[in-house]
A and B are shown apart, each in its own frame.
Chain A
């Protein structure tokens, strides 16, 4: 072959070396996804073969030379029923299986470690609670549930890791979440799959899954020296939030200590859970989030705080129920129940647990809209 066409030869070599039918199975969910995929492939194959056999077989058996006289057949209710009900049944199986998989992927476990993702044209910014900032890269430990709380600064993006079989739209003005549990160390593709403008295809990055030790080393090595909460604290002070949210009796604003994850009563009587989306919403649209018992005097910070700043504030307020930020020392960047518990931040642990339950993208809307409809208006 390579005698007469080296190009073609190289092409074949390329083919044989790089040809793949499946991306690596690098997350806990991947095998389940692939199993479902094979099931669907099987159904398709059966259907295709069936139709193919009918068409080919009849074409041969009843071609004109063989069968010059067509026989009139009106139809058959029995057959119609058969090929209505059997496909319907199969599709129903697909529906149920798919739905189960869907909820498995979009319901994070209660104690996942949380990393913030900010998408903008055309880069991914990852913010670790310990203050590690990354661009177009995300370092994560294997064998640990990781939840991403994502938001877009401008247009729709979509955070896709084929090797983990997860993908989630990153929406402007609203947190969305996805979670995964990496199983194999390695470097995997990160794509933006939602068309987002000129350099859409350059909005890619790499997911680096590392063994827990390497990950710890990395966190120590690449910290910016300020945890998100510490940034948040400075922002909190500079914006003068304290003047109202002083936590003292008779303060003009509600006390924010321990508010995260608790049920708050809004003006108008609805009670909602104060999750990330709610905190973010109350900073940008205080009126739609006004809590009962407080005059709606808070100004909006729309346009004054960047998404990163909002994340810092949210992270700070989350931490507020423990006065110590022992769990945010430089060498321990991320929370896990064990560590949080070990540092005695039990209430904090409670709020950790709630992140799982409350950070669902579709749980947010009711926290932030009048009439309990729709997502949080910016």
Chain B
């Protein structure tokens, strides 16, 4: 840190000591700027841990996809691609509305902020709704791993005349569906957490918080929300789009 930055910091310090500092500046920070940076950096580090958290699941997925490719293909082909694509679009749009929310709070536009947050909540709920439908389908099709897992409707991807997949291979579809539920479930959990936080933010925003120059909470929640979006961006092709076409 060279001398004039030290000087600069001194300016801040002096300013700080001369008094006016906003209510949201916590006591142990010197300047609003420092606090803003610290908080966003902390948020990024948290997302770092999230990456590694999902990393383990992706690792397992890659391994078993390579071992039981046929089972994975036929299992993935039983997933509703329409619903999956819709959900992807929904989540991307919610990401957009969240970004707009950040913009509005920077523009100190309370109404815009509340609208964007509400829209994000709505889209998030739509996503979860569609997920519930998908889960329910899996339940009715007995595709939930465990005791009453049925391997009937797994067709061999290789040939057109839908001959059933050999039982020993079809059994491994269980692993696919376990990973499917584990990954999407973990993702849905993050969505639920995000949405419940969003309600809180919406309430605060209605009282005019975040549109008074103190945007960092909205910013950092935005980071979280976009991260959840990114996870889905990868889950979608990995789970829904394994060769929708006959293999050979």
Contact = CB atoms under 8 A, between A and B. Distances in A.
Interface residues of B, number: 12
A296 B67 contact: no
A296 B165 CA distance: 9
Q: Which of B66, B69, B70, B168 has its CB near the most chain A CB atoms (within 10 A)?
A: B168
Contacts of B168: 284-288, 300, 302
A67 to B, nearest CB: 36
How many A residues are at the interface, by size bracket? 10 to 19
Contact of B70 (A286, A370, A373, A374): A370
A197 interface: no
A369 B69 CA distance: 10
A377 B66 contact: no
Q: Which of A287, A371, A377 has its CB near the most chain B CB atoms (within 10 A)?
A: A287
A112 B68 CA distance: 34
B143 interface: no
Contact of B67 (A300, A302, A374): A374
A98 interface: no
A344 interface: no
B63 interface: yes
A299 interface: yes
Q: Is the interface of B mostly helix, strand, loop or mixed?
A: helix
Contacts, number: 39
B80 interface: no
A373 B66 contact: yes
Nearest to B63: A374
B167 A300 contact: yes
Interface string A340-351: 000000000000
B125 interface: no
A373 B166 contact: no
A212 B205 CA distance: 88
A247 B165 CA distance: 26
B238 interface: no
A300 B167 CA distance: 8
B169 interface: yes
B166 A370 contact: no
Given A370-B66, A370-B68, A374-B67, A296 B172 contact: no
A287 B170 CA distance: 10
B66 A371 contact: yes
Contact of A377 (B68, B70, B165, B166): B68
Q: Which of A284, A296, A300, A374 has its CB near the most chain B CB atoms (within 10 A)?
A: A296
Given A370-B70, A377-B67, A288 B167 contact: no
Contacts of A374: 63, 66-67
Given A374-B63, A377-B172, A299 B167 contact: yes
A351 B13 CA distance: 83
Contacts of A286: 166, 168
Contacts of B69: 370-371
Nearest to A374: B67
A284 B166 CA distance: 12
B217 to A, nearest CB: 46
A287 B166 contact: yes
A115 B172 CA distance: 32
Interface in A262-299: 284-288, 296, 299
Given A287-B169, A370-B68, 9 more contacts: A288-B68, A299-B167, A369-B66, A369-B67, A370-B67, A373-B67, A374-B63, A377-B67, A377-B172
Interface of B: 63, 66-70, 165-169, 172
Which 3 A-B residue pairs are closest in the complex by CB-CB distance? Answer: A300-B168, A287-B166, A287-B169
21 contacts: A285-B168, A285-B169, A286-B168, A287-B166, A287-B169, A288-B67, A288-B68, A288-B168, A299-B167, A300-B167, A370-B67, A370-B68, A370-B69, A370-B70, A371-B66, A371-B67, A371-B69, A373-B63, A373-B67, A374-B66, A374-B67
